[in-house]
Amino acid sequence: MRFKNEADLQKWLEQARNGEPKQVKKTIAPALTQIDTSLQRRIIGIDTALRCTGWGIIDVRNGTMTAVDCGVIKNTPKDKISDCLRRLSIGMRELITLYKPDYAVMEGAFFFRNVHTALMLGSARGTVLAALAENGISTYEYAPRRIKQSVCGFGNASKEQVAVLVAQFLKIQTNHIALDATDALAMAICHAQALAVSGGLGIPEPL
């Protein structure tokens, strides 16, 4: 179950607080077609940033999504840019070695008025993409609005609202999970749903 707008989500949250929670279906989207439903796929979502990059991994098998792990790669505000990128590169390679994802998902680039901010995000994205490409992992990009629509049903959901629906989709507690990590899980869910619809015909070209 997804929501048409923020008012619907807030109504659902109020019902949940009053002891009448509604369940969001765990299965991904409509019936899987044109793909092998017995094949397990592991997807990593990556919410890139220079100081705090969120990551979230799910497995998809027989139309069901299961959370594997999530977290953040953090750098302090005092760290040099080169050190931040080095740690991000090392962290991504460790995640790839440990979890061996089949696909990776990132948000599409934002428009920034601040050129410095855009350059920093571009550097972080490039570092992550390089690590994924070195390991032969196809990486897909979705607009932030599409990711929110996929998980919440409307494209202007807040990070907190995304976290609530991610918890419902994956049957996990997200109260103590960083919002950057739940955003990354939402990216993985978005790609899992794209794989399910019409055999993945709506999936964008890999980066």
Of 197, 189, 198, 190, the C-alpha closest to 58 is 189
∠ CA 177-56-154, nearest 5°, is 80
The question of whether 47 is a catalytic residue gets the answer: yes
Question: Sign of the CA dihedral 12, 180, 174, 200?
Answer: positive
| Contact between residue 162 and residue 186 where contact means Cβ atoms under 8 Å apart | yes
The whole-angstrom separation of Cα 160 and Cα 139 is: 26
Q: Residues near 140 by Cβ (< 8 Å), separated by ≥ 6?
A: 103, 104, 105, 106, 191, 194, 203, 204, 206, 207
| Contact between residue 28 and residue 63 where contact means Cβ atoms under 8 Å apart | yes
The question of whether 69 is a catalytic residue gets the answer: no
Q: Considering the candidates 47, 59, 141, 183, report the single residue annotated as catalytic.
A: 47
| Backbone dihedral angles phi then psi of residue 145, each to the nearest 5 degrees | -65, -40
The whole-angstrom separation of Cα 31 and Cα 9 is: 25
Q: Considering the candidates 59, 141, 180, 183, report the single residue annotated as catalytic.
A: 180
The question of whether 59 is a catalytic residue gets the answer: no
- DSSP strand pairing (64-74 vs 103-107): unpaired
Q: Considering the candidates 59, 107, 141, 183, report the single residue annotated as catalytic.
A: 107
Total count of residues recorded for the chain: 207
**Residues annotated as catalytic (active site), given as ranges:** 47, 107, 180
